Amino acid sequence: MKFTDSPVIELQVGDSLLSLQQDNGSMHVGTTVWPCSLVLVKFAERWSPLTYSPSSSPQNPYSHLLDFRNKRAVELGAGCGAAGMGLYLLGLNNIVLTDIAPVMPALRRNIKKNKPVLKKALKTAQLYWANSEQISAQGPPFDIVIAADVVYLEETVRPLVETMEKLMGETGVVLLGYQLRSPEADRLFWEVCERVFEIKKVPHEDLQPDYAYEETDVYILRKK
Ligand SMILES: C[S@@+](CC[C@H](N)C(=O)[O-])C[C@H]1O[C@@H](n2cnc3c(N)ncnc32)[C@H](O)[C@@H]1O
C-alpha cells in the first residue's frame, strides 16, 4: 500500500517544511515515502525537548531519549530520507542516511531539494545490510539507529538485525517505525529481536494524533 500517489509529500517539522519528491513509478520501494517515517518524525516532534510544551502534560517521558545533543545517528533504508531529515530538524545534527545503490539518487535528490530548510547537505552512504565493510565504514558505535518500514522481506530480517546490533553502541537505541508488511518477516523479526533487544512499544496515545495510524507503530529497542 502506498501512502499517496501524489509525487510530493510535505512534512511540517517545527517551523520547517520538508518537501519530499517520490517516484511511484520506480521499481524500488525506497523511492516512495512510507507512513512509518512520518509517524516516527511526528512522534519525536511531539516530545522533542526543543518543541515540547509542558502545558499539555507536565512530564515528558521521552525527554532523555529525544535529547539529541552530542548524539551520533545512522539511518538504515532511508529511502527518500523523510525520517532522517525530520529528526535532523529536531536536533539530530550528526546523522548519516544510508540505503542501497539504486535508491541513492532519490535520497540525494531529496536532501539537495531540502537544503534551504536543512541549511546543510546531510551525509549519505551506501549500506547494504550485513555488509561488514560498509558497516565499519560508518564508524560505529552510534547512539541512535533509525529505521522506518524496513521489515517486509523475510530474507533480509537477519541481515537487518545484525546490522542494527553492529552499528549501535552498548547504550544505544533503535528508533523504529514499524508496520506489518509480511507475516513471515514480522514473525522472524520479533523472534530475532527478542533475543537481542529489550523492546518497548510506544503507546498509541503518545503518537502525534494526526499521525497515529492504527497499523503503524513506533518501537524503541535497546541491547539486552
Ligand atoms: C519500504 S522502504 C522504506 C523507506 C523509508 N525508510 C520510508 O519509510 O519512507 C524500505 C527501504 O529499505 C531499503 N532496503 C531494503 N533492503 C535493504 C538491504 N538489504 N540493505 C539496505 N537497505 C535495504 C530499501 O531500499 C528501502 O529504501
> What is the per-residue pLDDT across 28-66, written as a single tens digit (0 to 9) for each?
899 889 999 999 999 999 999 988 777 666 789 999 999
Does ligand 1 lie within 6 Å of residue 99's CB atom? Answer: yes
- CA dihedral for 127, 120, 35, 6, sign (positive or negative): negative
Is the residue at 42 inside a domain? yes
CATH for 93: 3.40.50.150
CB distance 74 to 138 below 8 Å:
yes
What is the rounded average pLDDT of the residues 126-144?
A: 98
Taken as a whole, the chain contains a residue count of: 224
Task: Specify the pLDDT at position 176.
Answer: 98
pLDDT at 56: 60
Rounded distance, CA 52 to CA 58, Å? 10
Average pLDDT, the chain: 94
User: For atom 25 of ligand 1, which residue has the closest CA?
Assistant: 30
Q: Please indicate, yes or no, if residue 2 is contained in any of the structural domains.
A: no
Q: Which of 54, 30, 61 is nearest to 220 (CA)?
A: 61
Per-residue pLDDT at 112 exceeds 80:
yes
Q: 142-148 and 168-179 as β-strands: parallel, antiparallel, unpaired?
A: parallel
Identify the residue whose C-alpha is closest to ligand 1 atom 2: 30
Q: At residue 189, does pLDDT exceed 90?
A: yes
From the CB of 11, is ligand 1 less than 6 Å away? Answer: no
Percent of the chain surpassing pLDDT 70: 96
Q: Poorest-confidence range of 24-38, 106-120, 153-167, 210-224? A: 24-38
CB atoms inside a 10 Å sphere around CB 167: 24
| Cα 157 to ligand 1 centre (Å) | 12
| CB of 39 closer than 6 angstroms to any ligand 1 atom | no
Q: How many domains in the chain?
A: 1
Distance 52 CA to ligand 1 centre (A): 30
Q: 73 and 92 in contact (C-beta within 8 Å)?
A: yes
Q: Is the pLDDT of residue 128 over 50?
A: yes
pLDDT above 50 (res 2)? no
Task: Give residue 76 CA to ligand 1 midpoint distance, Å.
Answer: 7
Residue in the structure block whose three cell numbers are 521489515: 151
46 belongs to a structural domain:
yes
Ligand 1: residue whose CA is nearest its atom 5:
79
Q: What is the pLDDT confidence band of residue 3, given thresholds at 50, 70 and 90? A: low
Residue 57 in domain:
no
What are 173's strand-pairing partners? 144, 222
Q: Please, which pLDDT band fits residue 27 given cuts at 50, 70 and 90? A: confident
Chain Cα centroid distance, residue 189: 17
Task: Calculate what percentage of the chain has a pLDDT beyond 90.
Answer: 88
> What letter would DSSP give residue 117?
H
For 208, phi then psi, to 5°, come to -70, 120
- 34 Cβ below 6 A of ligand 1: yes
- Residue 37 CB less than 6 A away from ligand 1: yes
Domain assignment present for residue 3? The answer is: no
Cα 168 to ligand 1 centre (Å): 18
Distance from residue 99's CA to the centre of ligand 1 (Å): 6
Name the pTM for this structure.
0.96
Q: What is d(CA 176, CA 108) in angstroms, rounded to the nearest whole number?
A: 22
Residue numbers of the domain that contains 41: 8-52+62-223
Nearest alpha-carbon partner for 172 in 200, 205, 140: 140
Answer whether residue 45 is part of any domain. yes
Is residue 1 situated within a structural domain?
no
Q: Which band of pLDDT confidence, cut at 50, 70 and 90, is reported for residue 23?
A: confident
Model confidence at 11: pLDDT above 50: yes
Per-residue pLDDT at 1: 37
In a domain, 177, yes or no: yes
> Does the beta carbon of 81 sit less than 6 angstroms from any atom of ligand 1?
no
| Nearest residue (CA) to ligand 1, atom 7 | 34
